[in-house]
Structure 1
Amino acid sequence: MNIPNILTLFRILMIPICVGVYYLPQVWAPWLASAIFLAAAITDWFDGYLARKLEQSTPFGAFLDPVADKLIVAAALVVLVESHASLWMTLPAVVIIGREIVISALREWMAELGKRASVAVNMLGKVKTTLQMTAIVILLSQDPTQDTWLEGLGLLALQISAVLTLWSMIVYLRAAWPVLRPKATE
């Protein structure tokens, strides 16, 4: 067990805490849940940085890090969809979660074919993730019964991140298309 892996496990442990805090009947609960999510998002960057800097990359960490990211984002989006009950929240959440399932399956399948590098994470994916995490931090902090400019900003950021999510999925699918397309029979 090394520091990057401990940070990844910490991020997974923060999921039920973040969700539980969000539902506390306290006026400060959304802000604390948002802070917990932000801490988890920061550990996402920090564990990758430390793994490279300290040369502590492990197969366990390479497996668990993307799983932790997807779990905390999916949990936060489910909470937000339930509490906001809006098409403008639900549609981007479905796009984001659906894309993660598709791309995870694509990466696994491409790895089995020895072509994992053709669907490796790219800069578009990093921009998408940053905007998505920012949107979730903002939205978790807001009372869903109040319409505020900050909630509007969070919703806009989430919708833009959903568009980037679709765009990045198309980029990955195009990269994999030579392997995916049916072969012409002779």
Structure 2
Amino acid sequence: MPEPVPGPAFVPVREDAPQTPRLTPSPAHDFSAPMNAVLPRRRSPAWTLANCLTYGRLVAVPVVVVLLFWPEELTARWAAFGVFVVAAITDYLDGYVARAYAQSSALGRMLDPIADKLLVAACLFMLAADGTIEGLSIGAAIVILCREVLVSGLREYLAELKVGLPVSRIAKWKTTVQLLALGVLVAGPAAEELFPGSMTLGIVLLWLAAALTLYTGWDYMRAGVRHAIDDPR
């Protein structure tokens, strides 16, 4: 008969000996998940009402440009004026909707200033091309365009420093006057037939917008230079 295989020796455990904790996985420590798992990033909502208003302003840019290719057609002028007015209204509505209904998103903050600058630049180019803005008034258009480029460059630089460039109250007034001037000039000769002197009013508003542009541009430039001087890099 084979010899019985001796089992493991029984070792008595002292009551005062330290106890080894049991490795029992709990819901908070689930060992089944990979140790290098990366949590998914939260995506910015794309189809909120505020963002859709911004998309509409982007779509309005080529529509206004196409309609202004026929500067002597009064119907096309009124159509361009209507599209421009709707786009200008959305410039105020998208920000209000984003704040009122908590729809602020990174995508909206990126596209909103881009849509504004594209609309303004496209209208200025087309109005200069068809002669609505001519002579010395082209200088006002150049001032406005240069300011937009300046502010865009400052925002890009300050973003690297994690410094925001808030919109001042005067800058908001500048935007309002600028949109009023462009709206009147987009209607152009069509508005002049119904309201004589409207194009002169549009040119005056354009120069007023250029003056406010110079002031706000200098204010932003001063803030940017101050941060650049203080930057230790």
If the length of structure 2 is used for normalisation, what is the TM-score? 0.73
Cα distance, 1:170 vs. partner?
A: 0.7
Cα distance, 1:135 vs. partner?
A: 0.2
Report the counterpart of residue 187 of structure 2 in structure 1.
Answer: 141
1:172 aligned to 2:220? Answer: yes
Report the counterpart of residue 26 of structure 1 in structure 2.
Answer: 73
Moved over 6 A (4+): none
Alignment partner of 1:115: what SS? coil
Q: Which has the larger radius of gyration?
A: 2
CA distance in 2, matches of 1:88, 1:54: 45
Alignment counterpart, residue 86 of structure 1, candidates 128, 131, 134: 134
Q: How does 1:91-106 map to 2 (within 5 A)?
A: 91-106=139-154
If the length of structure 1 is used for normalisation, what is the TM-score? 0.90
Deviates more, 1:23-32 or 1:123-132: 23-32
Q: State the Cα RMSD in Å.
A: 1.9
Cα distance, 1:174 vs. partner?
A: 1.7
CA distance in 1, matches of 2:52, 2:91: 11
Q: For structure 1, list consecutive stretches of 5 or more residues without a partner in the other structure.
A: none
One-letter amino acid of the structure 1 residue matched with residue 100 of structure 2: K
Report the counterpart of residue 171 of structure 2 in structure 1.
Answer: 125
Report the counterpart of residue 73 of structure 1 in structure 2.
Answer: 120
CA contact (8 A) 1:88 1:155 kept: no
One-letter amino acid of the structure 1 residue matched with residue 65 of structure 2: V
Cα distance, 1:89 vs. partner?
A: 3.1
Cα distance, 1:182 vs. partner?
A: 8.4
Cα distance, 1:108 vs. partner?
A: 1.1
Number of paired residues?
180
Alignment counterpart, residue 40 of structure 1, candidates 80, 87, 91: 87
Alignment counterpart, residue 162 of structure 1, candidates 210, 219, 229: 210
Q: Identify, as 1 or 2, the structure richer in helix.
A: 1
Alignment counterpart, residue 108 of structure 2, candidates 38, 45, 61: 61
Cα distance, 1:20 vs. partner?
A: 1.1
One-letter amino acid of the structure 2 residue matched with residue 105 of structure 1: G
One-letter amino acid of the structure 1 residue matched with residue 107 of structure 2: F
Q: For structure 2, list consecutive stretches of 5 or more residues without a partner in the other structure.
A: 1-46
CA distance in 2, matches of 1:99, 1:77: 13
1:10 aligned to 2:56? Answer: yes
